Amino acid sequence: MKVFKRDGRIVDFNEQKIVNAILSAFESVDGEITQYAVDKAYNIANYVSGYFKTDETNPVLSIEEIQDIVEKGLMATKRKD
């Protein structure tokens, strides 16, 4: 699985980067990282990883596409902030 970066590079997909970004967002809002935040971060990262596997026609996703998937995942939670 590959990611097309904004600078034009194509790199390997790293699920942990999504987890870290989501946890950072939760910590910024809440002032701490709760178990809820950890669960949601891993659920969304796993969903993105699965999205790669189901989209065999396009094995390379752009950062923007990944960002859109993550935003939709966050908006599907009870936390909209």
Give the pLDDT of residue 56: 61
List pLDDT tens digits, range 23-80: 999 999 999 999 999 999 999 999 888 876 665 666 788 999 999 999 998 888 887 7
Residue 53 has a pLDDT of 66
* Helical spans, DSSP H, in the chain: 15-30, 35-54, 63-75
CB 19 within 8 A of CB 41: yes
- The C-alpha atoms of residue 36 and residue 29 are separated, in whole angstroms, by 13
Stated pTM of the model: 0.81
Q: Could you tell me the two tokens for 33?
A: 């990282």
